[in-house]
């Protein structure tokens, strides 16, 4: 059992980490970090628990500490659910003190030597960690979890690009769940009841940029990630917030670069169905047995019905069909707090463990 | 005052027609047609009224009749809110008996000599009616109201195409309100609460086809409409049902054919703002003073806040910006039961009246 | 035209006051007060306008001032939408400087010489103002608007008590709209989507207490209000927040004190329907023509369909029937931001004006 | 393993029975009955599956049969999810043919020799079955599952009545989930979005009547149930439909008959917490470990957060406090499709099995 800690433990993402770590076969949750206001309290007294599952007994009595590396020195891995406002210096201090940090914050996603990982998509980017640790086995590192809507987008793209070559142009219009906005205050009820908010600050830029990093390649020495260039792949995102609790739906269209041999709709569906993510092959505990569920009913996937496939680690794809403007269009549904946030963090740790990197 | 009748008077669209006709300065509602089951009853006894405005006093005591032309022979105009399952033969019989029918049903939309009209977009297609009546002034005719999501889509396109030339490629992803699905049963609550339905039967095809007719041109003799060809304009629609009562939101992207002189975002916004629809110039009672409202706030338009601009006859456009894949992207909001259904029917009648065609 | 000012002008209640004052025949909105952060800005620049109606042109360019009596000295009446956290000293200063304040805040509701008024229920309590001004015609005063759910509760009780005598016991379970909680942050979306919150801080106590004041009598010299005693009338409230934007629904049961001559259900309905509030008799602009709408359909009132009767000043009552435990039960719907907040403030001012008290 | 069948297998309740029977340790699902239209098809082809869990593999290929006793003759127990419109003659035929029927339909609930059972409340009423089978061990019987909102109401009452004696008066106002209305069409989306429906046909009468049967006593020979008389216990229900998917919330108030020794709030909470239902003592697979969860936070229970306690077999109670009109008030939350419908059916079968009655 590896020892785990959680930063930002009282927040929305922190609570999800704690749920996913309870009774995890590989990790024992031992350290919880939060703001100075919470430090010193038992977790059960510090948190306003708002999950549908009960607060795990094993976490209740842990005394919350401040977010300082010294407090987490016994941790083999630290999961960070910190807000971007705080994550920068804290995660840096942890990294400098030799800790392995898996972060949901956006702060370091664009550093070229920081892997930005959707664990069912590009676990090979974790070789950057192997490269670092090969130089100094006690070296700290940060691995970033991708933006939630990006995770859903790239999941079906990966097997398609692997098989049919680069994507030339890609558009996505998202219908995103409110749980992605956290608790305090998150999306006000009066703004989302009988309504849509056609804007999520920074989200479109994240999707357009992060997609190019996640689908990018490692440099030869495994020290950095090289982005797909904007000339090679044009990505356009339109992001909306809708009255859904969990589960991001995306309507995507795309065109392959290779015009000679465009696959058929049936080819695409088979390629998606056949995809087995490396994390599953590595035997990781949380890896989805079926990475991508291809649904045949016209009116699926639907967030309420399909978001929990493979405990939220499986992505659902439906309505694969030809597109009059680009080549194909389809609907993608992913669980924003699992494969789009805390859940990905846990699966990344499982992969690191399987690769002896923590 | 012209005499008006309503077909399908107890249904969702019929109820809206009745509301819009109450206290209308040009039309006096005198005949209400519904199924044989309702015929013979006072309207107030036949209808399950489900509007937020009260049933108009003037309609309460009208005795419902069957949907037969004979019953409507005194009507200068008949508004049809019939379901497509019934509209075909009934509307045909009305037309053959010399009546002027303005229909919300899809049945005759694809007939080349039937105008398919969004009154703030292509009232000139009503010249087909002038052509018909010039041949025989007692001739009946049908004018079709467009599909609701199509109405929202073409509204901002019209001034852009007028000014910048044809659109080469166009994608739209819709987030459509449930009122568009009617009452019986419409969209079940359990299907839409905390959910999205990424499919509306027939809707994508309607949007892709009707856009080409509405933006098409009349034949030289004004007898038919010539569609924009699929080669000239590629249209791709992805339609979703969301938990919104009224107001269709659409995320659209488009590219102009003319590559020499692509306008700027500011050009586009000015062109949209400056657009004054012909119905307004004609002095039509319901015509929007501001046809297209260009909103500058990042997070607008929103259905709950913006759907009622100009009593639902105005369309709101926001987030006009460049698109990495096509030229531009923007968000369009239109009121699906006003400009997307019954309201358009009323405004079409007002235009016909202004042009002495009824 | 009397000159009006609004305190807390950028908040949720303040915005409603401004909407209701735009184009009001009796009042001209001239002064807007808000926090020092907003003071000095044009209103359109200071406010995050979140109403479904557009910001009135007449208010856009008013320069916001701080909430100091000096700034409002030309006002005949000042409407306060201040949060309770700030209302106390500010409203006191205004009153001490001779201003007429109509406040939505709870701070002074329990003062015995401050009228707590639902204008369609107990306008006679405004005689306290007459009493004050008879002593010194320049004296300032505060009139408090009641709690929103209390307003809905007492509206049908008033004509019943007037006719059938005191109510002995009363229970109400509320299903309250989220607009009542304001904007910042109000009720978080994640807390109310597919959910109920069975608690609203302080609300049950307010309902149980305020009902006794509103149904209480003036002292002989009109200087204070005497509460109905808890022995005379037992009131029990259970308050819930539900996913409704506007409109509080209440399921109420009650028993009359007089056991000799309990009325019939039909008696009750007639008494409710026949009730004409004094504000209407006084010719007040906003007074509802029909104070209480008695609905006969089983499944009414419903907030979405019935909340806007008489522009939100009319209260709807349905399902009046016998109760196996107390005497009767029924469902009451009232518009929480109109008769339950800002709207009541405006109507109180209209009554004061009709009585020459401002 | 006992052999189980399901009637009304394609409906909402039928689908829940099938989910709960998949991988059940005691029952093997072997026969699925539905309408003649579905008979002859594989279940996967006959059903429009609308559950958040996937259709169990074990049920997919079962060929649906008509609802005739002959087809179910090998079943040890038959669960009926039939609509009341069909349940009457079908369940009667099954019973007459010696089958054990556990029904969610209302048709036989008021027969004095048919037990009406909430398994965590009155399993002793199943002694009627023992009585019947003691006369003829092959005799068929029907056990009725109670109405969903009644199940939530009586659960906390049972331990209170056991300890503190009869309840004299009881009021409940419900906020009921839409899943209770089934699929076809159930509650229309347009009726429940931003709305409440203050009426559920027949529900109030069911709650007022069924409570008296469930809390009633068996006759001396165990052949019938004797209702609590209306004089002994007055019950008043007000039922509302709200925008919640699963989970009925009820605000209840009650007064004990015994005035000498009214317990304290703390007494009540302890009695509720300490209650262990007989089904749990019998070791039944689905019985809740904690029958009643007493929550201390002011704003709980909430349907989204608390409905799944003990897999939906546990009931949550919060806000236990004194009531100014009756003795106490509190909020009760129960999962309407588990303890309020199919789940109760399964647990009843487990109890029958534990008692060797099937």
Q: Do A188 and C185 touch (CB under 8 A)?
A: yes
Least Cα separation, residue C177 to chain A (angstroms): 9
Give the H/E segment covering residue C171: strand C167-176
- Band the pLDDT of A184: cuts 50, 70, 90: low
Picking from D118, D89, D87, the residue whose alpha carbon sits closest to that of residue D103 is D87
DSSP 8-state class, residue D198: -
> What is the DSSP track for B300-356?
---HHHHTTGGGGTSEEEEEEEE-SSSSEEEEEEE-TTTTTSHHHHHHHHHHHHHTT
In chain B, DSSP assigns E strands to: 2-7, 27-34, 65-66, 77-80, 100-103, 116-117, 141-145, 167-176, 217-218, 225-226, 234-241, 248-256, 292-295, 315-322, 328-334
DSSP B63: B
Cα distances (Å, whole numbers) of residue D164 to A11, A123, D50, D151, D271? 43, 62, 43, 20, 10
Q: What is the pLDDT of residues C135-193, one digit of tens each?
A: 888 899 999 999 999 999 999 999 999 999 999 999 999 999 999 887 767 999 999 99
- Residue C305: which of B50, B194, B305 has the nearest Cβ? B50
pLDDT digits (tens, 9 = 90+) for D20-62: 999 999 999 999 999 999 999 999 999 999 999 999 999 999 9
C193 contacts B305? CB cut-off 8 A: no
Q: Is the pLDDT of residue B182 over 80?
A: no
| Nearest of D198, D103, D200 to residue D149 by alpha carbon | D200
Tell me what the mean pLDDT of segment D322-327 comes to: 97
| Contact predicate B151/B339, CB 8 Å | yes
Task: Write down the pLDDT at residue C180.
Answer: 84
Residue C91 has pLDDT above 70, yes or no: yes
Which pair of structure tokens corresponds to residue A214?
A: 């996640």
Evaluate whether B183 touches B273 at the Cβ level (below 8 Å).
no
Interface test with A, best of D305, D307, D316, D335 (most A CBs within 10 A): D305
> Pick from A143, A158, A162, A170: which is nearest to A349 by CA?
A143
Residues of chain B in contact with residue D244, where contact means CB-CB under 8 angstroms, are 193
Chain C residues within an 8 Å CB radius of D230? 324
User: What is the pLDDT, as a whole number, of residue B274?
Assistant: 98
Give contacts of D 301-320 with A, CB under 8 A: 304-305, 308-309
> Across the interface, do A245 and D52 touch by the CB < 8 Å criterion?
no
pLDDT at C230: 85
The tokens of D147 are what? 């109405």
- Which pLDDT value is given to residue B261? 84
For residue A242, give how far its alpha carbon lies from the nearest alpha carbon of chain C (Å).
Answer: 10
| Residues of C designated as active site | 148, 248
- Give pLDDT, residue A317: 98
* Chains near D (3 or more Cβ pairs under 8 Å): A, B, C
Question: Bridge-partner residues for A329, per DSSP?
Answer: A253, A321
Q: pLDDT value at position D184?
A: 67
Tokens 């996505």, residue located: A172
Q: What's the confidence (pLDDT) of residue C262?
A: 87
Integer Cα distance of B285 and B125 in angstroms: 20
Among chain A residues, the shortest Cα distance to D301 is held by: A52
Nearest to A79 by CA among A127, A40, A28, A135: A28
D23/C229 Cα distance (integer angstroms):
61
Helix spans in B177-326 (H): 189-192, 203-214, 265-274, 278-281, 303-306
CA of D305 vs chain A CAs: smallest distance (Å): 4
3-state SS, one letter per residue, for A257-279: CCCCCCCCHHHHHHHHHHCCCHH
Of the candidates B259, B144, B284, the one whose C-alpha atom is nearest the C-alpha of residue B213 is B144
Q: What is the pLDDT of residue B185?
A: 72
Its ipTM equals 0.95
Residue B231 — very low, low, confident or very high, per pLDDT cuts 50/70/90? Answer: confident
Contacts of C231 (CB under 8 A, 6+ apart): none
CB contact under 8 A, A197 and B299: yes
Sign (positive or negative) of CA dihedral B210, B211, B212, B217: positive
Would you state the structure tokens that stand for residue A145, as one six-digit string?
A: 């979890």
Return the partners of chain A (3 or more C-beta pairs < 8 Å): B, C, D
For residue C225 the two structure tokens come to: 């209000």
- CB-closest option in D303, D318, D331 to C195: D303
Per-residue confidence (pLDDT) for residue B184, from 0 to 100: 67
**Among the partner residues A194, A245, A304, nearest to D52 by beta-carbon distance:** A304
Q: Cα–Cα distance between B212 and B205 in angstroms, integer?
A: 11
The chain-wide mean pLDDT, for chain A, equals 96
Which helix or strand (DSSP H or E) is residue D173 part of?
Answer: strand D167-176
In angstroms, what separates the C-alpha of B26 from chain A's closest C-alpha?
A: 34
CB contact under 8 A, B235 and A324: yes
What residues of chain D, 317 to 336, have a C-beta less than 8 Å from chain C?
Answer: 318-319, 323-326, 329, 331
The reply to whether residue C52 touches residue B305, judged by beta carbons under 8 angstroms, is: yes
Residues A169-183 pLDDT 10s: 999 999 999 998 877
Q: Which chains touch B (3 or more CB pairs under 8 A)?
A: A, C, D
Band of residue A7 on the pLDDT scale cut at 50, 70, 90? very high
E-only strand ranges, D178-275: 217-218, 225-226, 234-241, 248-256
CA distance A75 to A283: 23
How crowded is residue C281: how many other Cβ atoms within 10 Å of its Cβ? 11
Q: How confident is the model at residue C101 (pLDDT cuts 50, 70, 90)?
A: very high
In DSSP notation, D295-342 reads E-STT---HHHHTTGGGGTSEEEEEEEE-SSSSEEEEEEE-TTTTTSH
Q: What is the pLDDT of residue C184?
A: 67
**Active-site amino acid positions of B:** 148, 248
The pLDDT value recorded for residue B95 is: 97
Give the strand pairing for B2-7 and B27-34. parallel
Residue with tokens 């494969």: A339
What single string gives the DSSP state of each residue in D48-109?
Answer: ----SSPPPHHHHTPBPEES-GGGGTT-SEEEE---HHHHHHHHHHHHHTT-EEEE-SSTTT
Q: Which position among A67, A95, A148, A284 bears the catalytic label?
A: A148
Residue pLDDT, tens place only, C31-61:
999 999 999 999 999 999 999 999 999 999 9
Note whether B183 contacts D: Cβ–Cβ < 8 A.
Answer: yes
C294-316: pLDDT as tens digits: 999 999 999 999 999 999 999 99
**Beta carbons of B51 and C305 less than 8 Å apart:** yes
Which residue in D168, D152, D123 sits closest to D353, CA to CA? D123
Say if the Cβ atoms of A190 and C187 lie within 8 Å: yes
Residue B311 distance to chain C (closest CA, Å):
11
Give SS3 for B284.
Answer: coil
| CA distances (Å), origin A79, targets A96, A141, A285 | 16, 12, 17
Q: Which residues on D lie below 8 Å from A245 (Cβ)?
A: 304
Please tell me the predicted confidence (pLDDT) of residue B181. 87
Q: Give the whole-angstrom CA distance, residue C103 versus residue C115.
A: 11
Interface membership of C187 toward A (CB under 8 Å): yes
Do the Cβ atoms of D188 and B191 come within 8 Å? no
User: Nearest 5 degrees, angle CA D34-CA D37-CA D38?
Assistant: 50
C-alpha span between A66 and A7 (Å, rounded): 9
3-state secondary structure labels for all residues of A85-101: HHHHHHHHHHHHCCCEE
pLDDT band at D180; cut points 50, 70, 90: confident
- Predicted local confidence at residue A347, as pLDDT: 98
The rounded distance, in Å, linking the Cα atoms of B147 and D162 is: 63
**What is d(CA D98, CA D138) in angstroms, rounded to the nearest whole number?**
6
Active site residue D251: no
Looking at every residue in chain D, the average pLDDT score rounds to 96
The residue in chain C having the minimum alpha-carbon distance to the alpha carbon of residue A242 is: C189
Nearest alpha carbon to residue A22 among A342, A239, A279: A342
b/e D263-275 (16+ beta carbons within 10 angstroms → b): beeeebbebbeeb
pLDDT in the model for residue A262:
87
d(CA C100, CA C138): 9
Percentage above 90 pLDDT, chain B: 94
Binning pLDDT at 50, 70 and 90, where does residue C21 land?
very high
Cα C131 from Cα B118, distance rounded (Å)? 62
pLDDT score for A53: 93
Question: Per-residue confidence at D309, pLDDT binned at 50, 70, 90?
Answer: very high
- With an 8 Å Cβ cutoff, are C249 and D304 in contact? no
Buried b (16+ CB within 10 A) or exposed e, A182-212: bbebbbbbbbbbbbbbbbbeebbebbbbbbb
- For residue D183, list chain B residues with Cβ-Cβ distance below 8 A: 188, 190
Q: How far apart are CA C192 and CA B79, in angstroms?
A: 40
Helix locations, B193-251, DSSP H:
203-214
Structure tokens at A125: 């980017």
Q: Rounded mean pLDDT of A259-265?
A: 92
User: Quick one: tokens of C182?
Assistant: 């304001």
């Amino acid at each position: 059992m590896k020892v785990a800690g959680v930063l930002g433990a009282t927040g929305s993402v922190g609570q999800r980490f704690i749920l996913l770590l309870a009774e995890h076969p590989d990790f024992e949750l031992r350290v919880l970090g939060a703001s100075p206001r919470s430090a010193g309290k038992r977790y059960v007294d510090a948190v306003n628990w708002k999950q549908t599952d009960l607060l795990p007994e094993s976490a209740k009595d842990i005394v919350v500490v401040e977010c300082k590396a010294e407090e987490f020195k016994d941790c083999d891995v630290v999961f960070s659910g910190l807000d971007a406002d705080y994550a920068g210096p804290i995660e840096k201090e942890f990294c400098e003190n030799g800790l392995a940090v898996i972060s949901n914050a956006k702060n370091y996603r664009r550093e070229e030597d920081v892997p930005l990982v959707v664990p069912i998509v590009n676990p090979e980017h974790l070789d950057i960690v192997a490269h670092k640790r090969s130089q100094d086995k006690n070296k700290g590192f940060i691995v970033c979890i991708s933006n939630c809507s990006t995770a859903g987008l790239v999941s079906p793209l990966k097997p398609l690009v692997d098989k049919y070559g680069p994507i030339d142009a890609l558009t996505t219009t998202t219908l995103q769940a409110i749980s992605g906005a956290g608790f305090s205050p998150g999306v006000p009820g009066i703004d989302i009841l009988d309504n849509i908010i056609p804007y999520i600050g920074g989200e479109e830029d994240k999707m357009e940029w992060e997609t190019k990093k996640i689908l990018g390649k490692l440099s030869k020495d495994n020290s950095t990630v090289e982005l797909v260039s904007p000339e090679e792949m044009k990505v356009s995102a339109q992001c909306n917030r809708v009255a859904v609790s969990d589960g991001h739906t995306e309507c995507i269209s795309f065109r392959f670069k290779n015009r000679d041999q465009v696959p058929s709709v049936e080819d695409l569906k088979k390629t998606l169905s056949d995809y087995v993510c490396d994390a599953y092959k590595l035997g990781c505990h949380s890896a989805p047995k079926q990475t991508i569920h291809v649904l045949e009913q016209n009116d699926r996937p639907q967030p309420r019905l399909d978001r929990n496939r493979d405990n939220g680690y499986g992505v659902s794809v439906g309505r694969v069909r030809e597109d009059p403007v680009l080549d194909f269009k389809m609907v993608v549904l992913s669980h924003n707090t699992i494969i789009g946030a805390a859940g990905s963090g846990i699966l990344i740790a499982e992969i690191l463990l399987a690769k002896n990197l923590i």
